[in-house]
A and B are shown apart, each in its own frame.
Chain A
Amino acid sequence: MLREVLQAVEAAEGPVTLTELSRQLNLDPRVLDGMLEHWSRRGKLVVNSETAMACAGGLKEPGHCSCGSSASGDGCPFIARLPKSYAVFTPTEFDVELR
């Protein structure tokens, strides 16, 4: 089951929703989420569930980050609240020589 899940994510053409994938694999979405979590622990998937990542300086308080943005002084006028997602981890080969 776990292998099928990873293969399905890797084979997906473009983004898919958890519901779409769960229907494809005939799994409950919450069970599938657990399996995706398993793969993220093994480093095969990268889980992204932090809205705070948009803020370089970290959250000062919920919904208010210290990012020194141009349009806000010391706060972000726009904090992306985007859903949890899992992406296939791709090792970094494109490296510092580009800098």
Chain B
Amino acid sequence: MTPHLLSTESNVLSVALAGNPNAGKSTLFNALTGARQHVGNWPGKTVEQKTGEFARHGRRIAITDLPGTYSLSAYTMEELVSRDYLLDSRPDAIIAVADATNLERNLYLIVQLLELELPTVVALNMMDVAAKQGLQIDIPELSCSLNVPVIPSIARQERGIDEIVAAVSHASTLPTSACSLDYGEAIERAIASLLVIINDYIAIREYYAPRWLAVRLLEGDVDVAARLSGLPGGSELLPAAGKRRAELAAALGEDIDLFIADRRYTWIHNLAGRVVRAGSAHTMSNSDRIDHVMTDRRLGIPIFMLAMWLVFKITTDLSAPWVDWIDGVLSGPISRWIMTVLDAIGLGETWVASLLIDGVIAGVGGVLVFVPVLMALYFALAVLEDSGYMARGAFVMDRLMNRIGLHGRSFLPLMVGFGCSVPAIYATRTLTNERDRIMTGLLVPFMSCGARLPVYVLFAAIFFPRYASVVIMGLYLLGVIIAIGVGLLLQHSLLPAAAAPGLVMELPPYRLPTARGIGVQMWIRTRAFLQHAASLILVTTIAIWFLTAIPAGAHGTFANVAMADSVFGRASNAMASVLEPLGFGTWESGGALISGLVAKEVVVSTLAQTYGTSGAIDEARSDTFLQDLGEIVTSFLGAILDTLKAIPGLIGINLSVGDDEAVPGLADAIRASFTESSGGHAAAAGLAFMVFVLLYTPCMATIAAMRHELGTRWMWLSFVGQLAIAWLAAFFVFRLGVWVGGL
């Protein structure tokens, strides 16, 4: 690429605005140009280009806002664009914008800009923020060390703007010599030898700052080498630079570019140490103080557990009144209205009514009643995320994962697994280490996904109403413990690991969550759940209704057959014997677990269908529409009151009267069924059922994702392994409950 000199009108000064991201560059650009700016893209690039023109102090200045970058290394598109512009267009001057509160980091780019030997002014921006932080910057010393004017500014308040413009207006008088950065004797000797060649060729020294060019060649910059290859002198300079590099590498025993970067950082660190005083860089912020406790090696995990307990306490206690309300509305007024309409069109006593009431309302409605539960969970998680605590949770959990030799990056897929296993499996593809990828993929299904929560809430409310939140948190915890156990087993068998490599995590500062942020997160997740309920769950419940309506033998006719004698009942019954040792060996449980392979929410909808909990609607069919509306409003107000009463309960003050069950009709049916199947140990069987749901294959989509990402062999290992672990764990829990707990 042949560089060219920009031909500017003699009275128009071309100025480039350069700086780190968030240094206030755009604010300064807007302050300088006002509305006289043009926004487009850099030629052939998707990077935004902003240009503008203004006149001050009798000079017209054309200014180009370069993309925010941390260096000029031509590594990112933004860096490449900035560097190409500075090299090819050679503006009359550069305004280097630096964030005064973060001077040391900003200096890296400034030093590189100064090496270009273009007239430069440093705009030391955000001086007000620096002052608030107690930072004092010795500007004369900084200016002297950098050998360029340094103008303090507050671009947001348009302070210092005139001084900056005045400085660049006299660009021809600005110094262009590089700052006094000494790269050490060996490098300086090599630079000097290259300068001899560079100065011999006018075609080179006319376009490139000789010292900058020598340094870049020693750093092995291939882009610069490509630029030189077509120029006179390039054929002499490039081999000479290569030779010097080889000599230096042998002498220094390391990469030259690393050595040079290290010298730059050291020089900048020393300069910052001289010019910045009373900095807050190493004083502890409030976030640091809180983190001192939150991420403590001993306290971090117990605090995380406490936070999770609170999450599930909120999830179960605050949502309970709304579960009852939705259940009441769906099984009461909505069902009655549907029946009224069906009666009016003559379908009231047909299989269509059964499909709608026993299939769709019982099935989809059985899942929809748990929307408040999920919303409460999403609310609690959004608060944790927005406040910045979730990052701390990930950090302390990562320490646990380290015990099984997992790479630091594995925690992301595992965290995603708490929401949904499918994206979590796909997220493993970002792990570069194959062993970590497979290990993480195999452990993801043990992270309890959100779809299992309705099952836990239902069963915990039935069998452990007073300890629902503890039971649910225990299940999540059990999933993690099983994952660690499986991880250790794999580590010592199929997937041996080296020591887990180091990981540095940048924790965001704590902040007060915003209502908008929480609302958006809750809505996105709830909408996704509702979409799912309206599609896959609806189709599955309809399919299951048909399977329960078709007789398997000679007994009954279509839609007029005992469920146990239906195709679904008979097929599910085959699984009942396998589940018998676990305490829930019924065809209803078997059927729910099989259908749960479609999606875990379907477990609840299938139970609602197979236990036929919609029978109560007929009793109240004579209610009027207005009475129904009144009932909905009254129960809504009651739910609000109950929610308010539940809030003190989060800190142990119980204002609620009695322990209402979620979905009472279904609860009674499940309790009776489990009591019978377990020989009177319904609670132990209920707990075993929840454990089984926690540990067996999440869904078909997860299996497909595993096959796609990990291969068939690992997919089968995972599928069979999860079933085996689920069965064994449920068996152990049930027997333990019976023998020890007397549940």
Check B525 against A92 for contact (C-beta < 8 Å).
no
With A68-B422, A75-B524 known as contacts, the answer to whether A31 contacts B269 (CB < 8 A) is yes
The answer to whether B419 and A78 have CB atoms under 8 Å apart is: yes
Give the complex CA separation of A68 and B599 in angstroms. 12
Q: Looking at the complex, which one of A1, A23, A64, A86 makes contact with B504 (CB distance below 8 Å)?
A: A86
B394 within 8 A of A: yes
Residues of B within 8 A of A69 (CB): 419-423, 528, 701
Q: Which residues of B contact A34 (CB under 8 A)?
A: 70, 105, 108
| Contact of A15 with B504 in the complex, beta carbons under 8 Å | yes
- From A72, which residue of chain B is reached at the shortest CB distance? B528
Contact B104 A72 (CB under 8 A): no
Is there contact, CB below 8 Å, between A26 and B521?
A: no
Which positions 74-96 of chain A face chain B at CB distance < 8 Å? 74-90, 92, 94-96
In the complex, chain A residues whose CB is within 8 Å of the CB of B599: 70-71
Say yes or no for B450: interface residue by CB 8 A criterion. Answer: yes
Residues of A contacting B524 in the complex (Cβ-Cβ under 8 angstroms): 63-64, 75, 77
| Interface positions of A from 43 to 85, Cβ below 8 Å from B | 45-46, 48, 50, 53-56, 63-65, 67-85
Q: Is B418 close to A, CB under 8 A?
A: yes
Question: Residues of B contacting A12 with CB < 8 Å?
Answer: 502-504
Pick from B261, B419, B429: contact of A80, CB below 8 A: B419
B525 contacts A33, CB within 8 Å? Answer: no
Q: Nearest Cβ distance between residue B480 and chain A, in whole angstroms? A: 16
Residues on the B chain within 8 Å of A1, using CB = 262, 265-266, 269
Inter-chain contact A71/B451, CB cutoff 8 Å: yes
Q: Is A15 a contact of B398 with CB atoms below 8 Å?
A: yes
In the assembled complex, B475 has its CB within 8 A of some CB on chain A:
no
Contact of B501 among A37, A90, A98 (CB under 8 A): A90
**CB nearest to B498 among chain A residues:** A90
Q: Once the chains bind, are A15 and B408 in contact (CB under 8 Å)?
A: yes
8 Å CB interface, A1-19 against B:
1-3, 9-12, 14-19
> Quick check: B520 and A14 within 8 Å, CB to CB?
no
Measured between alpha carbons, how far is A26 from B281 in the docked complex, in Å? 9
Asked, given contacts A26-B282, A92-B433, whether A83 binds B528 with beta carbons under 8 Å apart, the answer is no
A18 in contact with B506 (CB, 8 Å):
yes
Interfacial chain B residues near A76, Cβ < 8 Å: 416, 419-420, 423, 528
Q: How far is the CB of B417 from chain A (nearest CB, A)?
A: 9
* Contact, CB under 8 Å: B432 / A92: yes
Q: Are A30 and B102 in contact (CB under 8 A)?
A: yes
Nearest neighbor of B391 in chain A, beta-carbon distance: A83
Q: Evaluate whether A83 and B408 lie within 8 angstroms (CB atoms) in the complex, with A69-B701, A71-B420, A73-B532 already known.
A: no
B528 in complex: contacting residue of A23, A27, A71, CB < 8 Å: A71
Asked if B600 and A70 make an inter-chain contact with CB atoms under 8 angstroms apart, the answer reads yes
Q: Separation in Å of the B269 CB from the closest CB of chain A?
A: 6
Neighbouring B residues of A94 by C-beta, 8 Å? 433-435, 495
Judge whether A42 and B258 touch: CB under 8 Å: yes
User: Would you call B636 an interface residue if the criterion is a C-beta within 8 Å of the partner chain's C-beta atoms?
Assistant: no
Instruction: Indicate if B424 sits at the interface (CB-CB under 8 A).
Output: yes
* Contacting residues, chain B, for A46 (C-beta < 8 A): 409, 432
Chain B residues near A80 (CB-CB < 8 A): 394, 412, 415-416, 419, 427
Q: How far is the CB of B606 from chain A (nearest CB, A)?
A: 15
Q: How far is the CA of A89 from the CA of B433 in the complex (A)?
A: 9
- Chain A residues whose C-beta falls within 8 Å of the C-beta of B197 in the assembled complex: none
Give per-residue flags for B127-140: 1 if the beta carbon is below 8 A from chain A beta carbons, else 0: 00000000000000
Chain B interface category by residue count:
35 or more
Known: A19-B288, A71-B529, A94-B434. A87 touches B502 (CB 8 A): yes
Q: B262 and A70: CB pair below 8 A?
A: no
Task: Report B86-109 CB contacts with A as 1/0, cut-off 8 Å.
Answer: 000000000000000010110010
Tell me the complex Cα distance, A22–B279, Å.
Answer: 14
- Per the bound structure, the CA–CA distance linking A34 and B506 in Å amounts to 12
**Which residue from chain B places its CB closest to the CB of A38 in the assembled complex?**
B261
Is B172 an interface residue when CB atoms closer than 8 A count as contact?
Answer: no
Asked if A56 contacts B501 (CB within 8 A), the reply is no
Give chain A residues whose Cβ lies under 8 Å from the Cβ of B104: 28, 30-31
Interface pair A87/B408, CB less than 8 Å apart: yes
| Bound form: Cα–Cα A88–B499 in Å | 11
Contact B450 A71 (CB under 8 A): yes
A56 to B708, CA, bound (A): 11
In the bound assembly, the distance between CA atoms of A62 and B294 in angstroms comes to 29
CA distance A74 to B527 in the complex (A): 11
Contacts of B711 in A (CB 8 A): 98-99
Docked complex Cα distance between A2 and B259 (Å) = 9
Q: How far is the CA of A71 from the CA of B395 in the complex (A)?
A: 26
Q: What are the residues of chain A within 8 A of B449 when measuring CB–CB?
A: 70-71
- Pick the residue among B507, B520, B521, B702 that contacts A83 (CB under 8 A): B507
Given A70-B600, A77-B450, is A54 in contact with B105 using a C-beta cutoff of 8 Å?
no
In the complex the two chains form, is B265's CB within 8 Å of A14's CB? no
Q: How far is the CA of A45 from the CA of B504 in the complex (A)?
A: 10
B409 touches A87 (CB 8 A): yes
Task: Say yes or no for B535: interface residue by CB 8 A criterion.
Answer: yes
Q: How far is it, in angstroms, between the C-alpha of A89 and the C-alpha of B705 when the chains are bound?
A: 26
Nearest chain A CB to B206 CB, angstrom units: 31
Q: How many Å from the CB of B348 to the closest CB on chain A?
A: 33
B413 to chain A, nearest CB (A): 7
Kindly report which residue of chain B lies nearest to residue A39, judged by CB atoms: B258
Given A18-B506, A87-B501, A95-B434, A63:B520 Cβ within 8 A: yes
Per-position contact with A for B527-567: 1 when CB-CB < 8 Å, else 0? 11101100110000000000000000000000000000000
| CB pair B438 A72 closer than 8 Å | no
Docked-complex contact B506 and A15, CB < 8 angstroms: no
In the complex, A25→B75 CA distance in Å?
A: 26
B258 touches A2 (CB 8 A): yes
Expressed in whole angstroms, the minimum distance between the Cβ of A87 and any Cβ of chain B is 4
Q: Which residues of B contact A14 (CB under 8 A)?
A: 398-399, 402, 500, 503
Closest chain A residue to B265 by CB distance?
A: A1
Q: B501 to chain A: which residues have CB within 8 Å?
A: 10, 87-90
**Distance (Å) between the CB of B499 and the closest chain A CB?**
9
Whose C-beta in chain B lies nearest to the C-beta of A97?
B434
Q: How distant is the Cα of A27 from the Cα of B276 in the complex, in angstroms?
A: 13
By a CB distance below 8 angstroms, the chain A residues around B450 are 71, 77-78
B390 at the A/B interface (Cβ < 8 Å)?
yes
B419 near A2 (CB under 8 angstroms)? no
Contact B422 A85 (CB under 8 A): no
Q: Is B698 an interface residue (CB 8 A)?
A: yes
B432 touching A81, Cβ below 8 Å:
no
Given known contacts A11-B502, A15-B398, is B415 in contact with A82 (CB within 8 Å)?
yes
A90 to B406, CA, bound (A): 12
Q: Are B105 and A2 in contact (CB under 8 A)?
A: no
B385 within 8 A of A: yes
How far apart are B223's CB and chain A's nearest CB, in angstroms? 14
Q: Chain A residues with Cβ under 8 A from B527's Cβ?
A: 75
Chain B residue nearest to A78 (CB atoms) is B419
Q: Are A85 and B528 in contact (CB under 8 A)?
A: no
9 nearest A-B pairs in the assembled complex, by CB-CB distance: A78-B419, A56-B426, A72-B528, A88-B501, A94-B435, A69-B420, A67-B423, A99-B711, A12-B502
What are some 16 contacts across the A-B interface (CB < 8 A)? A9-B502, A11-B502, A15-B503, A17-B505, A18-B507, A30-B105, A70-B702, A71-B601, A82-B391, A83-B395, A85-B408, A85-B503, A88-B503, A92-B433, A92-B434, A98-B434
Task: Supply 7 further A-B pairs (C-beta < 8 A) apart from A21-B504, A29-B281, A90-B407.
Answer: A63-B524, A70-B702, A71-B420, A71-B449, A75-B524, A77-B378, A98-B438
